[in-house]
C-alpha cells in the first residue's frame, strides 16, 4: 500500500520533470498575473488589498495547477491504474503530489509578490507559514473536486463552479488568519483556534477523499 503510493507519487513527479510544460505554464501564469497586478496597482500597496489579491491569485493558481492532475490522465491510463492499484493508494498519491506542487507554486508566487508588489507584512515569516497552510488546504479540496469534475463534461469550468462555494469558508478563515502577519491583534487564543480549524478541515478532506474516491474510480 505505502509502496504503491510512493511509486505513483514518483511517477507523477517524474512525468512533471520530463514534460515540464505544466510546471512552466503555471509559473508563467503566476508571473503574468503578478506583472499585470504590478502595472495596474501602481506603487501604493495597502496591506489589506495586498492580502486579498494574494489569496485570490493563489486560488486561481491552485485551480490551474491541480485541475490537470486528473485531466491529464487519459481513459486508457485510468483503466491501467484500475487494474494495478487500489483507489486509496491512487487518491493519496494524487493528494501528496498536489500538496508538493502547490507548496512550490506558493513559494514562487509569494516570492514574486514580495518582489513586485513590495512587502507590507510586519511578520513575513508568519505570513509564509500561513500561506503554506492555506495553499495545502486549497490543494486538498481542489484535488477532490478535480476527481469529481473529471467524471463530467466541460471539466475545467465545472471545477470552478463546484469549487468556489466550497472554498469560500476556508478562504475567509485564511484571510482573517493572515491578518496576524499584519500585526493585527487577535482575541487571546483566536489565532490558534482558526489554525486548528483549518487543519481539521484539511484532515476531513483527506478522510472524505479516501472514503469517497472508490465510488468515483469505477467507470
Partner 1 sequence: MRKSWWKILSIVLLVYAIVGGLLLPVPALRQLQETVRNLYYHVSMWFAMMILFTISLVHSIRYLRTTNFKYDICARDYSAVAIVLGLLGYATGVIWASYTWADPNNPAYASFGSIVREPKLIGTAIALLTYFAYFVLRSSITDIDKRARVSAVYNIFAYAMLFPSIWIIPRLLPSLHPGQEGNPALDFRDVDTRLRMVFWPAVAGWTLLAVWIATLKVRIDFLKEKKWLHAK
Residues that bind partner 1 (CB under 8 A): 141, 144-145, 148-149, 151-154, 158, 161-162, 164-166, 168-170, 172-173, 176, 190, 193-194, 197, 201, 204-205, 208, 212, 215-216, 218-219
State whether the Cα torsion 66-161-144-69 is positive or negative: negative
Q: Which is nearer to partner 1, 43 or 154 (CB)?
A: 154
User: Nearest distance from residue 203's CB to partner 1, in Å?
Assistant: 12
Q: Which is nearer to partner 1, 6 or 190 (CB)?
A: 190
User: Nearest distance from residue 115's CB to partner 1, in Å?
Assistant: 32
State whether the Cα torsion 100-101-105-106 is positive or negative: negative
Q: Which is nearer to partner 1, 117 or 147 (CB)?
A: 147
Residues 6+ apart with CB under 8 A from 146: 66, 67, 69, 70, 71, 155, 159
User: Nearest distance from residue 165's CB to partner 1, in Å?
Assistant: 4
User: Nearest distance from residue 197's CB to partner 1, in Å?
Assistant: 6
Show the DSSP H helices in the chain as ranges: 2-19, 21-41, 47-71, 75-84, 87-117, 124-149, 155-177, 190-217
Q: Which is nearer to partner 1, 34 or 145 (CB)?
A: 145
- Rounded to whole angstroms, what are the CA distances from 219 to 93, 151, 161? 20, 9, 23
Amino acid at each position: 500500500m505505502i509502496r504503491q503510493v510512493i511509486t505513483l507519487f514518483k511517477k507523477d513527479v517524474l512525468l512533471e520533470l520530463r514534460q515540464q510544460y505544466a510546471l512552466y505554464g503555471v509559473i508563467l501564469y503566476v508571473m503574468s498575473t503578478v506583472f499585470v497586478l504590478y502595472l495596474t496597482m501602481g506603487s501604493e500597496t495597502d496591506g489589506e488589498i495586498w492580502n486579498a489579491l494574494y489569496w485570490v491569485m493563489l486560488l486561481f493558481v491552485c485551480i490551474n495547477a491541480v485541475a490537470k492532475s486528473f485531466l491529464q490522465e487519459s481513459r486508457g491510463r485510468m483503466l491501467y491504474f484500475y487494474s494495478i492499484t487500489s483507489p486509496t493508494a491512487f487518491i493519496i498519491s494524487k493528494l501528496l503530489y498536489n500538496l508538493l506542487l502547490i507548496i512550490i507554486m506558493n513559494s514562487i508566487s509569494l516570492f514574486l509578490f514580495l518582489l513586485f508588489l513590495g512587502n507590507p507584512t510586519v511578520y513575513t515569516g508568519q505570513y509564509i507559514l500561513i500561506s503554506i497552510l492555506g495553499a495545502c488546504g486549497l490543494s486538498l479540496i481542489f484535488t477532490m473536486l478535480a476527481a469529481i469534475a473529471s467524471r463530467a463534461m466541460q471539466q475545467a469550468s465545472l471545477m470552478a463552479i463546484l469549487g468556489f462555494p466550497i472554498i469560500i469558508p476556508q478562504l475567509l478563515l485564511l484571510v482573517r488568519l493572515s491578518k496576524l502577519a499584519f500585526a493585527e491583534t487577535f482575541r487571546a487564543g483566536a489565532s490558534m483556534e482558526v489554525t486548528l480549524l483549518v487543519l481539521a478541515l484539511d484532515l476531513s478532506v483527506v478522510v472524505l477523499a479516501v472514503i469517497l474516491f472508490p465510488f468515483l474510480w469505477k467507470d
